[in-house]
Every structure is written in C-alpha cells, then in structure tokens.
Amino acid sequence: MNLSENVQRNGLIGGLSVVILFLAYYFIDPNLLFGQISSGIPFLFIFPLFMTLSAVADKRENGGYLEITPAFKSAFFTGLLALFIMVAFNFILQTIIDPTLVEKSKEVAFDAAIELAEAFSGGEELDDDAIQEIREKIEETGSPTLGNSLISFLLMGALGAVPAVIIALFVRKKEDPLEKLKREESLN
C-alpha cells in the first residue's frame, strides 16, 4: 500500500504533537499522563485534527474531489501512524525512561475505580473488603509489555475507524461525470 505524503506528514506531526504533549504532562505532573481528561486530548483533538488535515490535503491534490474510500484511507492511516508513535513513546516512557510511572498509573486507576464503584453504589462509601478487592485487582496489572502495547495499539486503531469514517463523510466530494469528461477532453 502506498501512503500519500499527506498521510505520512500529518501522521508524523500528529504523533510528535502527542509526544510533546505527554512530555509536558510528564514534567508538569506525571499523573496527568493517566488522567481521564488529560489523556483523552489526543483522541478528542489532536488525532482528529491531523486526520482531517490529511484527507483535506489529499482532496485538494485531487482537484477538489475525493471519493469516500480514499478519504477514509487518508484519515485512518494518518491516525494509525500517529497512534503508533504515541503507543511506542508510552511504552518507552514507562519501561525505560521512568518505570515508576507504572505505580503512578496504578494509583490513578485505583482512585478512578473507587470513584466509579461508589457512583454505582448510590454514593455510599465502600467497605474495607471492597476497597481491598479493588486494590488487589489493580496490583495484578504489571508493567507494560510489547504484547499488551501491541494489543492496545490494535484496539485503539480499530476504534480509530469511527472518526475516520466521519471525517471521510464530511471531506468526500464526488466529481460530476460531465465535468470530468469536459476536463479530460480539454486536456487532450
């Protein structure tokens, strides 16, 4: 498969943007790496932005027309490249640069699980046994491995098809067959 320059450029810039964002989080407060809102910024803003930019640039290069399939491919593979860079960076950050982040992620996950469990119990505080059970479940998770990073990449990549379809629906523009014929005749 031949990826356009737009896919490569926007995927690389999008991925590096997330790396810069995550480095800023790391130096400001490492807990931001695992926060529900702060860790969602790449998925809500950065990836969709660069996926759209890639599809629009491909459309522009195609004379202002782009069918839905090429628009989808442009958006999807841009997101996939950026996601790969993000997952690879997270793996390196948590296994090589600062392995203590694994414990911080467990603490954030524990706090979030307690909040969620209390919300489902009608706002009542959990007893000690329930809290201990949640802590044990969280502690069972280990350090990131290549295997679980790959699974994470594949799952998030598959979910990336949803915004890619939405972007493709907005970016696509079919060329009028009569205009296409006239344009081709003028070129000959």
pLDDT attached to residue 63: 85
| 172 C-beta neighbours (distance < 10 Å), count | 17
Burial pattern 32-56, b for ≥16 Cβ within 10 A else e, equals: bbbeeebbebbbeebbbbbbbbbbb
Side chain identity, residue 91: F
Q: What mean pLDDT do residues 86-107 have?
A: 92
Q: Is the pLDDT of residue 17 over 90?
A: yes
Predicted TM-score (pTM) of the model is 0.84
pLDDT attached to residue 93: 94
Q: How confident is the model at residue 1 (pLDDT cuts 50, 70, 90)?
A: low
DSSP 173: B
Say if CB 76 and CB 161 are below 8 A apart: yes
What are the domain boundaries of the chain?
5-99+143-174
- The 10s digit of each residue's pLDDT in 119-130 is 887 767 777 787
- The 10s digit of each residue's pLDDT in 35-92 is 888 989 999 999 999 999 999 999 999 888 899 999 999 999 999 999 999 999 999 9
